[in-house]
């Protein structure tokens, strides 16, 4: 009798395993191509609201590591409020090592489509912490004001004011006012790029680098393949949200061609700091990020552009569970270290480097983790259906 019970148990276990594997395979199939398993399960979780997330996503709660607190012996966090133009103030978050001295300063602008409730200091806290940890830099992230209440150029002005504040207060946190870089993702990538431009134009801080994760570089209507191929929202960023962002943040069409909203259309990019641009294969913003890198190169700016294959918009936020995101942060830290030492060079020809997904043992681990996440999602969906 017990043997029959074991057989039934094993058959049931096999059937469940096959169903999970079939589900992941089904989630992997898209009109734009087959997704890696890890990408597929994460997108399935987000698109079906199986985990709580915003448009620019932090790691799911059930998989993310514990946040750093002020009680940490090595890493300190400060939440402050700083003055900006118009006698207003905005929140700022600072991460730094307790023994920081003459450290580089990195101003990080979070993503979120320039809109209220789409991204903030908390949704991007994990990226700030990771960059501070990997680089030893003082990471300062401003909570710039967003649309629809605050339209262009409010976010740009807030971003630049935060840069000036960081230069003035760098030594207070163990940072060097002479070693400042800017960084950001998506909408924040746009702000990082235009802040670098504004610093050049207004004789502001001499930045040593700009780090741009899948940046939005133009509000103008451009014939870009990635904008139409991956705009369904299936890959975390939809055309609907992009149009909503444009209508709210730049409500006047004359704003779309302004250099501080659309750096891709700027005629003169000379004198900007060395750039490291990260794009994602399945991302409507992919082409404009890579094209901006090309224009920077044509104007003599040292630039390295890397396209991560098999991933979607916002993938760096998933570095705790996606190896590609972890690698992007590691390579970013390496670039910042090189740039801070003034060792960047300009290649003769511009080329986008394709970063393939993990292979070997790491790929096997990714597949195993994808199966585990898939099992969790199938179980969660089943329980919700039964309820």
- At 205 the three-state DSSP class reads coil
Strands 75-84 and 103-109 come out as unpaired
154, 157, 162, 164: CA torsion to nearest 10: -170
Q: Count CB neighbours of 160 within 10 A.
A: 28
Q: Which of 186, 261, 262, 340 is catalytic?
A: 186
What is the DSSP annotation of 82-109?
A: EEETTTEEEEEEEEEETT--SEEEEEEE
Residue 241, C-beta contacts closer than 8 angstroms, at least 6 positions apart: 55, 113, 118, 233
- At 48 the three-state DSSP class reads coil
Q: Count CB neighbours of 57 within 10 A.
A: 23
Copy the structure tokens of residue 383: 């329980």
Strands 175-185 and 103-109 come out as parallel
Q: Which of 56, 185, 231, 283 is catalytic?
A: 283
Active-site residue, 317 included: no
What is the DSSP annotation of 60-82?
A: PTTTPPPPP-TT-SSEEEEEEEE
Q: CA nearest 325: which of 185, 208, 123?
A: 185
Active-site residue, 347 included: no
Q: Count CB neighbours of 91 within 10 A.
A: 14
Q: Which of 313, 317, 324, 340 is catalytic?
A: 313
Active-site residue, 254 included: no
Phi, psi (deg, nearest 5) at residue 205: -55, 140
Q: Count CB neighbours of 147 within 10 A.
A: 22
Q: Identify the bridge partners of residue 244 per DSSP, sorted by sequence position.
A: none
Looking at the annotation, which residues are catalytic? Answer: 186, 283, 313
């Amino acid at each position: 009798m017990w043997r029959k019970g074991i057989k039934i148990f094993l058959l049931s276990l096999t059937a469940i395993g096959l169903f999970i594997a079939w589900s992941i395979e089904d989630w992997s199939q898209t009109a734009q191509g087959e997704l890696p398993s890890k990408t597929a399960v994460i997108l399935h979780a987000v698109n079906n609201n199986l985990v709580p997330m915003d448009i620019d996503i932090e790691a799911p709660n059930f998989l993310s590591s514990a946040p750093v607190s002020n009680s940490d012996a090595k890493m300190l966090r400060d939440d402050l409020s700083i003055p900006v133009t118009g006698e207003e103030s905005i929140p700022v978050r600072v991460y730094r090592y307790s023994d920081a001295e003459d450290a580089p300063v990195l101003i990080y602008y979070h993503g979120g489509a320039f809109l209220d409730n789409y991204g903030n200091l908390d949704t991007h806290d994990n990226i700030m912490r990771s960059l501070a940890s990997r680089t030893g830099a003082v990471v300062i992230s401003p909570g710039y004001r967003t649309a629809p209440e605050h339209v262009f150029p409010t976010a740009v002005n807030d971003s630049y004011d935060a840069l000036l504040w960081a230069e003035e207060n760098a030594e207070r946190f163990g940072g060097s006012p002479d070693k400042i870089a800017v960084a950001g993702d998506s909408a924040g990538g746009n702000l990082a790029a235009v802040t670098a431009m504004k610093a050049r134009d207004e004789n502001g801080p001499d930045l040593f680098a700009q780090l741009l994760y899948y940046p939005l570089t133009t509000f103008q209507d451009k014939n870009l393949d990635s904008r139409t191929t991956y705009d369904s929202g299936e890959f975390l960023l939809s055309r609907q949200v992009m149009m909503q962002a444009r209508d709210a943040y730049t409500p006047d069409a004359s704003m779309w061609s302004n250099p501080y909203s659309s750096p891709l259309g700027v005629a003169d990019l000379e004198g900007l700091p060395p750039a490291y641009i990260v794009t994602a294969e399945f991302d409507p913003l992919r082409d404009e990020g890579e094209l901006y890198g090309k224009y920077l190169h044509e104007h003599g700016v040292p630039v390295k552009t890397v396209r991560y294959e098999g991933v979607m918009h916002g993938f760096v936020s998933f570095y705790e569970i996606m190896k590609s995101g972890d690698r992007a942060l590691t390579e970013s830290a390496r670039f910042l270290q090189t740039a801070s030492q003034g060792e960047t060079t300009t290649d003769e020809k511009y080329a986008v480097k394709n970063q393939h997904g993990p292979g070997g043992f790491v790929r096997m681990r990714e597949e195993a983790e994808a199966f585990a996440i898939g099992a969790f999602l199938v179980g969660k969906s089943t329980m919700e259906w039964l309820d």
